[in-house]
Amino acid sequence: MDFILQPWSWFVSGFLIALLMFVLLLLGKRFGMSSNLRAFCSICGGGKVNSFFNYNWKKDSWNLFIVVGAMLGGFIASHFLSNGSMPDISESTKLALQDLNISTNNGYLPNELFAIAALSEVKTWLILISGGFLIGFGARYAGGCTSGHAISGLSNLQLPSLIAVIGFFIGGLFMVHVLFPFIF
Amino acid sequence: MMKKVLYIVLGLVFGVIMYKSEAASWFRIYEMFRFESFHMYGIIGTALVFGIIFIQLIKRFNIKTFDGEPIVIEDKEKSIARYLIGGIIFGLGWALAGACPGPIFVLVGAGFVPIIIVLISAVLGTFVYGLLKDKLPH
């Protein structure tokens, strides 16, 4: 039981993710999470405004059940399979966090951004809104996110996915190393 | 009906993996972009190694779906601009919010209320992309 409550190793986790993609392929489906965001737009009537959202999302409704499951999984993992402690990140990362005024005595997510109390600050809203917007816009522009490109696409040795993943890292590195000191 | 339950169960497994591997934690994403731990690279790298093996097995042995259909994985459309520019925009958001689309759903389930703002904004970002799609380089 102790094994379950501890954070899972990268090897076990990585293997299970690949296995999940394999099972989905055997079910005739493609592993990709960001396409659900497009489905949400269509469900909300986006097809009336723009033809990009006028597609048969019902054909992809299986993926919405994956989303429901992922939420349930998050609920079960956080409430019954862990103690909500902060990930055991490296000492040098903890030092860097101090410069961002983020506590190193924290929870699974930084309270400075994801505690309800943090919502009293306008800055938190701006960070969460811009982060989400960039994720949604960028994922659809690139035709996929981490699951669709970094896992599914690269596993199928797709050059476009490699370009996308390089892009993910250019953006991520720029954000963390150049923009974070101005944002936090 | 059975299929729906199956997809919910697969999603549930995915959610537990994302949470328990800490791939859904802002801290791990920050650490990854600082190159200060092998953890995230280990997860993605292992998934990739086994992913390549599984897909090669499907191709070499013509493995069919459970329904007996052939598995044909379409190649991604060729382009550089859309993947690079779109990728960079996605990466900026991934590092800032510390979550990609899969973990966003997982964290909503885990009860982090502010992540709902990230989710709604991501849907909005997708919508705005759809509006601007024809004006952007692809």
Q: Report the DSSP beta bridge partners of residue A85.
A: A107
The DSSP line for B3-38 is HHHHHHHHHHHHHHHHHHTTTT-HHHHHHHHTT--S
Other Cβ atoms less than 10 A from the Cβ of A6: the count is 12
**What is the residue-level pLDDT of chain B in tens, covering all 138 positions?**
789 999 999 999 999 999 999 999 999 999 999 999 999 999 999 999 999 999 999 999 999 999 999 999 989 999 999 999 999 999 999 999 999 999 999 999 999 999 999 999 999 999 999 999 999 999
Percent of chain B past pLDDT 70, that is, above it, reads 100
pTM over 0.90: yes
The reported pLDDT for the residue numbered B2 is: 87
Asked if A13 has any chain B CB less than 8 Å from its own CB, the reply is yes
Asked if B116 has any chain A CB less than 8 Å from its own CB, the reply is no
Q: What is the ipTM of this complex?
A: 0.96
**Count of structural domains within chain A:** 1
Asked if B81 has any chain A CB less than 8 Å from its own CB, the reply is no
Q: What is the pLDDT of residues A88-127, one digit of tens each?
A: 999 999 999 999 999 999 999 999 999 999 999 999 999 9
Residue A23 lies in a domain: yes
Q: Is the pLDDT of residue A145 over 80?
A: yes
Residue A43 lies in a domain: yes
Q: What is the pLDDT of residues B75-98, one digit of tens each?
A: 999 999 999 999 999 999 999 999
Among candidates B13, B36, B73 on the partner chain, residue whose Cβ is nearest the Cβ of A90: B36
The reported pLDDT for the residue numbered A84 is: 85
Distance from CA of A11 to the nearest CA of B (A): 6
> What is d(CA B29, CA A173) in angstroms, rounded to the nearest whole number?
11
Distance from CA of B68 to the nearest CA of A (A): 9
The reported pLDDT for the residue numbered A1 is: 63
Residue A118 lies in a domain: no
Q: Which residue has the higher pLDDT, A135 or A2?
A: A135
Is residue B19 packed enough to be buried (19+ CB in 10 Å), middle (13-18) or exposed (0-12)?
Answer: buried
Asked if A168 has any chain B CB less than 8 Å from its own CB, the reply is yes
Find the DSSP H helices in chain A.
2-5, 10-26, 35-43, 61-80, 91-99, 111-114, 122-141, 154-155, 159-174, 180-183
Q: Which two tokens stand for residue A144?
A: 């996929």
Contacts of B53 in chain A (CB under 8 A): 18
Residue A144 lies in a domain: no
> What is d(CA A116, CA A124) in angstroms, rounded to the nearest whole number?
10
Residue A51 lies in a domain: yes
Residue where the block lists tokens 């094994």:
A3
* Residues A174, B89: C-beta atoms closer than 8 Å: no
Residue A58 lies in a domain: yes
Asked if B128 has any chain A CB less than 8 Å from its own CB, the reply is yes
B contact residues 54-73, partner A, Cβ 8 Å cutoff: 54-55, 58, 63, 65-67, 69, 71, 73
Among candidates A67, A113, A135 on the partner chain, residue whose Cβ is nearest the Cβ of B122: A135
* Residues A65, B84: C-beta atoms closer than 8 Å: no
Contacts of A50 in chain B (CB under 8 A): 127, 130-131
DSSP-based three-state secondary structure for A163: helix
Asked if B9 has any chain A CB less than 8 Å from its own CB, the reply is yes
Distance from CA of A56 to the nearest CA of B (A): 15
Q: What is the pLDDT of residues A41-63, one digit of tens each?
A: 999 999 999 999 999 999 999 99
* Residues B11, A72: C-beta atoms closer than 8 Å: yes
Domain that holds residue A17: 1-82
Residue A100 lies in a domain: no
Distance from CA of B35 to the nearest CA of A (A): 9
* Residues B130, A41: C-beta atoms closer than 8 Å: yes
